[in-house]
Structure 1
Amino acid sequence: MSYLNDPRVLFAAERTLLAWNRTAIALITLGFVIERFGLFVKTLKLDLVAGQRVYSFYIGIGMISLAIVVSLVATVQFHRFIRGLNAEEIPNKYIFWHSYLINSAVALLAGSLLVYLSHGFNW
């Protein structure tokens, strides 16, 4: 008898995936705030540090890019875990597509935000 026969193991893996999803959303939010902070400083004409807008742009874009990687890696890891389960270890009629869909949507929307921010940046 495998320890995986306990459905709590499967549900713990799904909770872990959703925790990584929340982490990705937090990284997206933080990256957006950092990127927009440079615009705020430029708008107020606070030239405390030369190139403030450029630094905040790259840091914000980096945070959003990290969020995309986190979301996709978590999805792949969850898929590998599910693939390793036997049919009897998965509850009857239990679906997994929503987990993949949510994480993929977060990664896609973060990519869209990257494109939006990149096109709005005044070089």
Structure 2
Amino acid sequence: MSELKDPRVFFAAERTLLAWSRTSIVMIASGFGIERASVLIQAVTHGRTTADKTGVVFWVGLAFIALGTFAAFCSSRQYIVVLKTLTPEEYPMGYGTKCGLAINTIVAVLGICLGIAVYVGHVS
């Protein structure tokens, strides 16, 4: 439990959450870009590339999407834990505390949706 009684403690926790949110988005976007690289490799080589090479690229991209999604969920959980340790004096008056959490959770859910869509698109 924090005993600082300073709203800056809350703002520091929120900044950390949003930094993790940006990191999650970058990992998910990078994973999608890496996965799409397998399609580009196939197009450039006119299908002469072995399935092993493009398969590895696909799985690495999917792993990045999963890692970004996992980071979003974990950071949301950590933020909730930090919020529980704060005293009422550390919350800014009239300031919503759940907006960053909602955004980060949505990023995680969209990451799951993208991962599923990429996998289904690859399998079919």
Kindly tell me the number of residue pairs found equivalent between the two proteins. Answer: 122
Q: Which ranges in structure 2 are unaligned for 5 or more consecutive residues?
A: none
Structure 2 distance, partners of 1:7, 1:112, is: 36
Aligned to 2:37: 37
User: How many angstroms does 1:122 deviate by?
Assistant: 4.5
Residues 69-113 of structure 1 deviation map (CA, whole Å, 9 limit, x = unaligned) = 100110110110001111222122221221111001100111110
Structure 2 distance, partners of 1:56, 1:66, is: 15
Kindly indicate whether the alpha-carbon contact (under 8 Å) linking 2:7 and 2:89 is maintained by their aligned counterparts in 1. Answer: no
TM-score (norm 1): 0.90
Aligned to 1:64: 65
More relative contact order, 1 or 2 (CA 8 Å, 6+ apart): 2
Structure 2 distance, partners of 1:99, 1:83, is: 15
**Structure 2 residue identity aligned to 1:82:** L
Sequence identity of aligned pairs in percent? 34
TM-score (norm 2): 0.90
Structure 1 distance, partners of 2:38, 2:49, is: 11
Aligned to 1:7: 7
